[in-house]
Structure 1
Amino acid sequence: MTDRPTIPPIGRDEFRAAMARIATAVSVITTDGPEGRHGMTASAVASVSDEPATILACIHRSTLMNSRLKSNGVMCVNVLSDRHDALSRLFANAGSTLDERFASSAWDMLATGAPVMQDAAIALDCEIVEVAEVATHSVFFGELRALRLAESASPLLYYNRGFHSIGTGILSED
């Protein structure tokens, strides 16, 4: 076995600049249960497996959402369409109340009891089956218990620190 030189880690700013150049769908993740309802905007969501249908969401450990997801054991990933720019900002704003956030859209439930946006492009209603702690975040693995697809919707994308639409280009920048 050969000795490998120590490779220094990439710096935080350089890493963040690189990640900003990966286009991702924007979602509002919601939960409800014994610890109460909560919701936040997120882009760190991905498919894990199709059998069983499983997704993951990465949530910073310091957030209230992190503890609510762990206590409630359910989440709905509401994938936003390009007309939800303002709603995504509202759910990302730490200064907005939960009442303000949830009053901004119509909600119902599917299987788990987590709030589901009636006009989400995609709603992925999940039971949290595993949580992995990695660095500053918890990775929540959710098995789908129900889903709903909109008839047609152009997704809201986050790219290079701005919101974009496939059809119309840039919507706004941070």
Structure 2
Amino acid sequence: MIEATDFRNAMSLLTSAVSVVTTTGASGRYGFTASAVCSVTDTPPTLLVCMNRASYLHTHFVENKILTVNVLGAHHQSISNVFSSKLNSEERFKHGVWTELKTGAPVLEDSLVSFDCHIEQAQEVGTHDIFICRVVAIQQAQQDQGLIYFNRTYHQVGYATGNDSRIDSASLVSEVR
């Protein structure tokens, strides 16, 4: 049997993009820092977000049935720290400039990309829910430096100079198949 600490230590070596996931509704605006976000399919555009059911925020996301995944740029490390801190929701949203798209969930104005979504289903797995989210709007910024989390610390990643350094994700997918 694999111990939870061994699993967490191994997962710390899986490089992940850092996002702030937000929602809004009758009870207010809420958000948290997440690295468990993943594409599901492009037809229809769908992604998944994993959230611990023990979080005090969980109920708000389930009740609101909307969320926005704000993928953070290299300059957003402080925003990531704020949304993973013990600050209350009102204090968290004092950091950054927030707008909205189709659902009304908070969109970080200068995030790399924001995926505005309806939560279509929630699947319980262990301590977490997997939210299956239909993307209804996308906002992209004009920047190419991302914030990632690896080995329990932040790193910056971006494109090298020259066009040949970029990999077409469609080509990558076809190579994997």
With the length of structure 2 as denominator, give the TM-score of the two structures: 0.87
Match of 1:31 in 2: 23
SS in 2 for 1:155: strand
Q: Give 1:64-79 correspondences, 5 Å limit.
A: 64-79=56-71
Match of 2:131 in 1: 140
> What amino acid sits opposite 2:66 in the alignment?
V
Q: Give the Cα–Cα distance (whole angstroms) in 2 for the partners of residues 34 and 23 of structure 1.
A: 35
Residue 122, structure 1, aligned to residue 122, structure 2: no
Match of 2:172 in 1: none
Instruction: Tell me the CA shift for residue 153 of structure 1.
Output: 2.8
Q: Which of 94, 103, 115 pairs up with 1:112?
A: 103
Q: Give the Cα–Cα distance (whole angstroms) in 1 for the partners of residues 78 and 55 of structure 2.
A: 21
Match of 1:14 in 2: 6
* Mapped contact 2:23–2:67 kept (Cα < 8 A): yes
* Mapped contact 1:35–1:71 kept (Cα < 8 A): no
Encode CA deviations 1:29-83: one digit per residue, 9 max, x unaligned: 0000133210010100000011110000000001122111100000000000010
Match of 2:39 in 1: 47
Q: Give the Cα–Cα distance (whole angstroms) in 2 for the partners of residues 166 and 38 of structure 1.
A: 27
Task: Give the % identical residues.
Answer: 40
Instruction: Tell me the CA shift for residue 102 of structure 1.
Output: 0.5
Superposition misfits of 4+ residues, deviation over 2 angstroms:
none
Q: Give the Cα–Cα distance (whole angstroms) in 2 for the partners of residues 25 and 45 of structure 1.
A: 8
SS in 1 for 2:20: strand
Q: Give the Cα–Cα distance (whole angstroms) in 2 for the partners of residues 136 and 146 of structure 1.
A: 29
Residue 150, structure 1, aligned to residue 166, structure 2: no
Match of 1:100 in 2: 91
* Mapped contact 1:123–1:149 kept (Cα < 8 A): yes
With the length of structure 1 as denominator, give the TM-score of the two structures: 0.88
Unaligned runs of 5+ in 1: 1-8, 168-174
Match of 2:73 in 1: 81
SS in 2 for 1:71: helix
Q: Give the Cα–Cα distance (whole angstroms) in 1 for the partners of residues 132 and 2 of structure 2.
A: 27
* Mapped contact 2:29–2:90 kept (Cα < 8 A): no
Q: Give the Cα–Cα distance (whole angstroms) in 1 for the partners of residues 48 and 33 of structure 2.
A: 14
Q: Give the Cα–Cα distance (whole angstroms) in 2 for the partners of residues 117 and 30 of structure 1.
A: 9
Q: Give the Cα–Cα distance (whole angstroms) in 1 for the partners of residues 82 and 120 of structure 2.
A: 28
